[in-house]
Amino acid sequence: MSYNLLKGKRGIIFGALDPNSIAWKTAERVHEEGGTFVLTNAPIAMRMGQINELAEKTGSQIIPADATSIEDLENLVAQSMEILGGKLDFVLHSIGMSINVRKGKHYTDQNYEWTQKGTDVSAMSFHKVMQTLYKADAMNEWGSIVALTYMAAQRVFPDYNDMADNKAYLESIARSFGYFFGKDKKVRVNTISQSPTPTTAGQGVKGFDGFIAYADRMSPLGNATALDCANYTVTLFSDLTKRVTLQNLFNDGGFSNMGVSDSVMAEFVKE
């Protein structure tokens, strides 16, 4: 169902890889709600994914950009405004990567060069994106910037590894930069803390299947899907949430406020 919530709005969507990714679902929903956008991803991710298919489906252009490179980001922002015909109304940052996770390095045995690379891609890139938008005065007033995060930023999930630190840093950047973006340019900045979701990135985490089942049984409404997250993001891009900023918003079926649930307890009290 479409409500035309984003009619006439323009933006950039980072990180769409394949139909499982939250950014991909968000792009589809933004398109359905009347928004236009440029798609971007790192050149290497674009070779792995199916982003051309999404561009065709949504009538969007693709601009490859390494989100850790200021030069690439400046080019992306300038080109996007040219292609879309004006300043931007929304940006989705849906990027995260840990080489330590990918290569099976334990949290207590990190390769710090890998750690640094992961921090740059997963968190510092969000600051770089916002700083580039801010300096170029590329956002319309009442625009909206959203980054995707996870609750391991606040609580311990042992196998989430250094990505937990990256997400904590990401959330802090959203608040700190969000203050200046709000005060100086009336732009809002929020993060969405999503349920574990079977995306290509998510499935790289050790023990992911058990974890997703656990979260589902802990949450009174069950896990939020990638489409649920896309719908929530659309509301944050719309004018209906124009004074929601500096928030870390949980889209997790209630998981974040649970201590324990009946069905999880039942596993431990088997007669």
Q: Are strands 88-93 and 61-62 parallel, antiparallel or unpaired?
A: unpaired
Per-residue pLDDT, 108? 98
How far is 198 from 58, CA to CA, in rounded Å? 23
Residue 179 bears catalytic tag: no
Distances (CA, A) of 35 to 5, 20, 85: 8, 21, 13
pLDDT in tens, 111-126: 999 999 999 999 999 9
What's residue 203's pLDDT?
Answer: 73
Query: Is 160 one of the catalytic residues?
Result: yes
pLDDT computed for residue 130 by the predictor: 99
Alpha-carbon dihedral 262, 267, 268, 271, rounded to 10 degrees: 100
Confidence of residue 98 (pLDDT cuts 50, 70, 90): very high
Closest-CA residue to 89 (of 145, 132, 173, 129) = 145
Give kind and range of the element (H or E) at residue 39. strand 36-40
Q: Is 95 annotated as a binding residue?
A: yes
| Per-residue confidence (pLDDT) for residue 202, from 0 to 100 | 73
pLDDT in tens, 192-222: 999 999 987 777 777 888 889 999 999 999 9
212 labeled binding residue: no
pLDDT digits (tens, 9 = 90+) for 242-262: 999 999 999 999 999 999 999
22 annotated ligand-binding residue: yes
Q: Single out the catalytic residue among 107, 160, 169, 214.
A: 160
User: Taking 90 as the threshold, does the pLDDT of residue 157 lie above it?
Assistant: yes
Do the beta carbons of residue 236 and residue 9 sit within 8 Å? no
Residue 271 has pLDDT above 70, yes or no: no
What per-residue confidence (pLDDT) applies to 170? 98
Which residues, at least 6 apart from 164, have a Cβ–Cβ distance to it below 8 Å? 150, 152, 153, 156, 157
Q: Which of 165, 166, 189, 162 is nearest to 178 (CA)?
A: 189
Q: Are 16 and 57 in contact (CB under 8 A)?
A: no
Mean local confidence (pLDDT), 236-243: 98
Indicate the residue type of 212: I
Decide if domain 10-207+224-258 falls under CATH 3.40.640.10: no
What pLDDT shows up at residue 36? 98
What residues does each domain of the chain span? 10-207+224-258
pLDDT more than 90, % of the chain = 90
Instruction: Write down the catalytic residue from 107, 112, 134, 150.
Output: 150
> Mean pLDDT across the chain, nearest whole number?
96
Cβ 186 vs Cβ 142: under 8 Å: yes
CA–CA distance, 81 with 30 (Å, rounded to integer) = 17
The predicted structure's pLDDT at residue 206: 75
Residue 62 marked as a ligand binder: no
Residue 120 CA: distances (Å) to CA of 97, 128, 210: 9, 9, 29
For residue 15, say whether it is annotated as part of any ligand binding site. yes
> Are 123 and 169 spatial neighbours (Cβ–Cβ below 8 Å)?
yes
Tens of pLDDT, residue by residue over 61-90, are 999 999 999 999 999 999 999 999 999 999
Q: How far apart are CA 209 and CA 201, in angstroms?
A: 13
Question: Is pLDDT above 80 for 237?
Answer: yes
Q: What is the pLDDT of residues 45-57, one digit of tens each?
A: 888 779 999 999 9
Model confidence at 30, pLDDT cuts 50, 70, 90, reads: very high
